Amino acid sequence: MGDGMSGGSRLNMGVAIRILAALLLGCFMLPSFGVSGGAHSAEITGIALLTGAETGSGQRLPANLGMLFLLYIPVCMFVVWCVYKGKRQREAALLSVFFSATGLIGWAEELADFIGDDGYFSTMFDFRAAVWGGSPKGWYDSAHITPQAYKSCCFGAQRLINPVGFLSNIIENHDEPRGVSRYIPANDLSVHAKKLLATVSFMLRGLPWIYQGQELGMENLPFTSISEIDDISTKDEYEVARHNGLTEDEALTCVSFYSRDNARTPFQWDATANAGFTAGTPWLRVNPNYTAINAKNQLYDKNSLFSFYQALISLRKHPDYMDTIVYGELEPFMEEEENLMAFFRRGQSQTLLVLANFRKEPRTLVLPAPCKKILINNYDTLTGENDKAVTLEDYQAVVLVV
């Protein structure tokens, strides 16, 4: 047994130092992730954190954030001591991932210590797409992700993780805006587009997660005033935008796109008052589209997004395809093609091809092999030419056996 650090499970001092660096970085980034509501991570110093002093942009940090900083440092030191001494390594790893979940994904050489067969955890979340386009200046200076950039984020993470283990694939969560409003251009938002996004997420290698409301295609709330927003980080980003010259309407439009309050509006059960969520007054305004987008409307509609998610879950669990979808390798296909997300899932005895036309305009694609069967299609039909080519319509997504 020794000291409990045998073989590949042992973490050396180099790993301990890297964990400490990630934890300390996380401390200085806490305001930009909503702990203080700030967006000045590039300007904050330890003194500012401890004293509640003003940042370079003139925004004053809450003094109580200094207390968080003081509590954070002992946690950092405990993690490093545990790892270096080889004691309670699992607890140390858990704490480090809890405080810096995204920091490890860049350390390809250490991934196997944290996930996979010999790692501490089964999986880790992938936030590449969620943080794409971010700016240290604030949300007002951030870029909206494009379909091409979304593809790059997904494939980049897959290349990094595939030899090691499984990612947890998400479209949205409680700290992010609604995924359909984030990853689908506003003018393209439709049920077909939402089904495409679901298809891509479920067919990537990894563990698919569904956040409440995602299965209905719930969208961002059209906030009409900053007073409707509860989230402190969104309010702070609004002030940052105003401080940097945006009008009230421009600042509200900017922060409304990114606010996590979008994922915290009442769940839309039906078309009755307050979407059937409560007879009282909800903490956030109900999205006015609840009369069209709600669970009651979709539950027994075979063409609804809810039913489409059920079909994706059934396909993933189907005994004929489960091994390929869950364990098969992922190989990008026609990766340079603009606004096309296409990839193979290769199992031991079969190959699946996922084709997703991430645009309104149709496109014709030459197939690498004849199509044997269509497993998933977000349209009723698929136009083909003697199994040599297919034409994908506006945001059409298909899963083929080839």
Say whether both 353 and 206 belong to one domain: no
**What pLDDT, on a 0 to 100 scale, did the predictor assign at position 120?**
81
Say whether both 39 and 158 belong to one domain: no
**What pLDDT, on a 0 to 100 scale, did the predictor assign at position 184?**
97
Q: Taking Cα atoms as reference points, which of 285, 264, 263 lies closest to residue 274?
A: 285
**pLDDT tens-digit profile of 301-354?**
999 999 999 999 999 999 999 999 999 999 999 999 999 999 999 999 999 999
**What pLDDT, on a 0 to 100 scale, did the predictor assign at position 172?**
96
More confident site: 50 or 184? 184
Measured on CA atoms in the order 73, 74, 77, 79, is the torsion positive or negative? negative
Say whether both 16 and 62 belong to one domain: yes
What share of the chain in percent tops pLDDT 70?
72
35 within a domain of the structure (yes/no) = yes
Range with lowest mean pLDDT among 61-65, 183-187, 190-194:
61-65
Say whether both 199 and 149 belong to one domain: yes
This model's pTM is above 0.85: no
What average pLDDT does the segment 47-73 reach?
43
Q: Taking Cα atoms as reference points, which of 336, 334, 338 lies closest to residue 354?
A: 334
Say whether both 195 and 92 belong to one domain: no
Say whether both 281 and 135 belong to one domain: yes
Q: Is the pLDDT of residue 368 over 60?
A: yes
Cα 69 to Cα 50, 80, 82, 101, 325, distances in angstroms = 7, 17, 20, 18, 44
**What pLDDT, on a 0 to 100 scale, did the predictor assign at position 163?**
79
**pLDDT tens-digit profile of 132-174?**
999 999 999 999 999 999 999 999 999 988 878 888 999 999 9
115 within a domain of the structure (yes/no) = no
109 within a domain of the structure (yes/no) = no
Say whether both 152 and 296 belong to one domain: yes
Mean pLDDT in the chain?
Answer: 82
- CATH number of the domain residue 364 falls in: 2.60.40.1180
Say whether both 354 and 300 belong to one domain: no
Say whether both 177 and 70 belong to one domain: no
- Domain boundaries, position 315: 127-330
Say whether both 233 and 336 belong to one domain: no
Which of 330, 354, 389 marks a domain boundary? 330
The 3-state DSSP class for residue 373 equals strand
More confident site: 29 or 269? 269
Per-residue pLDDT band for 50 (boundaries 50, 70, 90) equals very low
Tokens representing 240? 């940052």
Structural domain total, the chain? 3
Per-residue pLDDT band for 34 (boundaries 50, 70, 90) equals very low
Say whether both 260 and 146 belong to one domain: yes
Say whether both 161 and 34 belong to one domain: no
Q: From CA 183, how far away is CA 219, in angstroms rounded?
A: 11
More confident site: 98 or 309? 309
Residues recorded for the chain = 402
359 within a domain of the structure (yes/no) = yes
**What pLDDT, on a 0 to 100 scale, did the predictor assign at position 90?**
46
CA angle 36, 39, 40 (to 5 degrees): 100
Q: Is the pLDDT of residue 394 over 60?
A: yes
